[in-house]
Structure formats: C-alpha cells, structure tokens
Copies of this chain bind each other. A is one copy, B any other.
C-alpha cells in the first residue's frame, strides 16, 4: 500500500479520532485495532507505533475529552465577577445546555456505554472526571464558605460527595431516558430524583434550602418532553 508520512501529532490525532468514532458506535470491546487502522488507511503496526496497546488509546481519548470539559469549567471557576452560587448554577447550566444540544448523539452514546462490554469506557470516564472536577468544585465550595453561603467542616470531601450525588443522579436520569417503559411516569420520577439530589447536596454543602438548582426550572422538560431547549422559557411553559 502507498506510504504516506504525516506529522506524528496529526497521525496520533487521526488514530484517536478513528478510535473514538468506533468506540462511540460499536463500543470498546467490539472495536478491533483493525477497524481503527483500516478506517484511516494505515497498517496495524502504525497503531502500535503510536500506542502501547488498545487500552492506551482509550486512555488518551478519555484524557482529551475530560481535559476539554475541564477547561470550560475552569473558566467559570476562575471568573472573579461571580459569587459561589452563581458559579455553581452556571457550571451546571453550561453542562446541561451542552448536553441538550447534543441530546441525540449523547443518548446514542449512553446506549452504547451502558452495554456490559463497555464498562471500561464508562469507568475510565467516570474516574477521570471525578479526579479532575472535584478540585474545581472544591474551589467553589471554598469560596461559598468564605461568602457565608455554604457551611461545612469538610470542604473537599463535601465537594466530592456533592459530585458523587450528581453523578448518581445522572446515571439514574440516563436510565430513565433509555428505559422509560420501566417507569409509570418517567418525567415525574426524574423530577423527584433531581429534587432529592438537590436537597441532599444543599445539606451536604450547608447551603440554604433552594439556593442551589441542579436543573433550572423547565430544563428537565427539554429531556423528557422532546422539546428543543431554546423553546423552553424559565417557567417551563412552551412558548
């Protein structure tokens, strides 16, 4: 086959992108190294020139994804003009808007991720984001404590626990979205779980009740009523 030499960084990027494409659609276990290299027209050896193993390209991919998200989060956390509560809600809003914008794609991904052979991917994403997000969240909690809106003797741990609760909520909501048939009233179940998570997080952070919103009013509708986000106002009514 014709040999095309490229800038190593570009090649590496191509390999990661190709791997990502397959991991997202076929899942990690069901993707072979052959799939990855065939799609971009290089030999298998090239793959192993850039990555030690199949697992290694997964790590690289996860690192890329998480570090991109962290950059977004960091911008909010570093913003000097926002108080802690605003930072909190803005961080969640940004994440949620992003998710709603890519709803279909993310749901497809979630469906793949859920399959037992893809637990690897799921676990690495979870572990890495927990590791990276916790410190940023802790900064917000620390600021909140200084501003007197949060109160806890265990700032770092509270941040971690809050994140764990949100992650657990996220898993539950994903399950409801993917298997609504298991719930008599999916939207109501989701709303209740979200409210419980919000309540628990406020307790853990020592924040006044109702001060932290996980979903801005009506945001859940975008997920459960199949209405594009931009058509939802803050009262949750359809305009």
Binding site for B on A (CB under 8 A): 55, 116-117, 119-120, 122-124, 152-154, 157-158, 160-161, 164-165, 168, 192-193, 195-197, 199-200, 203-204
Contacts and interface: CB of A to CB of B under 8 A. Distances in A.
A196 B157 contact: yes
Is the contact region of chain A dominated by helix, strand, or loop, or is it mixed?
A: helix
Contacts of A203: 200, 203-204
Nearest to A164: B168
6 contacts: A55-B116, A116-B120, A117-B120, A119-B124, A164-B168, A200-B204
Contacts of A192: 154, 157
A171 to B, nearest CB: 10
A165 B160 CA distance: 10
Given A154-B192, A195-B154, A200 B161 contact: yes
Given A55-B116, A165-B164, A200 B157 contact: yes
Given A164-B165, A164-B168, A154 B196 contact: yes
Given A203-B203, A204-B203, A204-B204, A161 B122 contact: no
B154 A199 contact: yes
A168 to B, nearest CB: 5
A203 B161 CA distance: 12
A203 B207 CA distance: 12
Contact of A158 (B55, B117, B196): B196
A96 to B, nearest CB: 20
B116 A197 contact: no
Residue picked from A122, A154, A197, most chain B C-beta under 10 Å: A154
Nearest to A154: B196
A145 to B, nearest CB: 14
Contacts of A164: 164-165, 168
B161 A165 contact: yes
A157 B204 contact: no
Nearest to A194: B157
